Amino acid sequence: MFALRRNSIVTIQRIFPIAAAVRYGSSTTATGAYGTHNTPVASNETLSREDNKLLDQVIRVDHAGELGANRIYKGQHFILRVTNPRVAPTIQHMWDQEKYHLSIFNKYCTEHNVRPTVLRPLWDVAGFALGVGSALLGTRAAMACTEAVETVIGDHYNNQIRETAHLEDKHPEFSKLREKLAELRDDELGHLNAAVDDWEAQKAPAHGLFTNAIKLGCKTAIWLCKRF
């Protein structure tokens, strides 16, 4: 029985490095997307049900968001590479960063057994449609779309960084997660600044109405992905 229990614990530690280290309170090597560290963990440290739910939501929502961002930039690039080749490299750069972001959350989903949102097929279609639609309205409209999306996402990442601050006390590896959230937030805000400062996003027709509608859509998507 002891051997079976020990093997079960080792298996869990390999699959879920952070959660296993916290729950089983052993001196363990935590590996994976957050890096590798040998850190002793006190035996009374646990993740509460609320903390587990929070971590699950963070990974699932951000995975969905980066998927949607990839589809938006893919749609914009599909149109703007033809209608305005001058802006295409900027769109490609933003898209490449979103591909990197998505790869991070793909790893997190696998390593922490997080179920992606069931709304993923919808975000595939909606993101690409928003990218194509905004680009068809012109470069400024496409950049206004970027401004709106990245404003919401920047705030969203800031909220997550605050909400997960207490997790650093559970295990040092959680600081790696928060550092990664800050890194991705800075990338998103870089997209926002480029859209506004370099490509005149705020001169897009019906700028206020257009961006507010997109912001509402993004906030609704975040709300849905937390639950589904």
- Tokens 């997790």 -> residue: 167
Residue 142's identity, in one-letter code, is: A
- Annotated ligand binding at 45? The verdict is no
What single-letter DSSP state applies at residue 112? Answer: T
Tokens representing 79? 């149109």
* Buried/exposed 108-132: b ≥16 CB within 10 Å, e otherwise: bbebbebebbebeeebeebbbebbb
- Look at residues 169, 163, 55, 154 and name the one whose alpha carbon lies nearest to residue 109: 55
Angle (CA) 207-187-184 rounded to 5° is 120
- Annotated ligand binding at 179? The verdict is no
- List all residues 6 or more positions away from 121 whose beta carbon is below 8 Å from its beta carbon: none
* Secondary structure (DSSP) of 12-51: HHHHSHHHHHHHH---EEE-STT--EEE---TT----HHH
- Annotated ligand binding at 163? The verdict is no
- Annotated ligand binding at 147? The verdict is no
- Annotated ligand binding at 166? The verdict is no
Binding residue numbers: 66, 98, 101, 150, 188, 191
Binding residue numbers for Fe cation: 66, 98, 101, 150, 188, 191
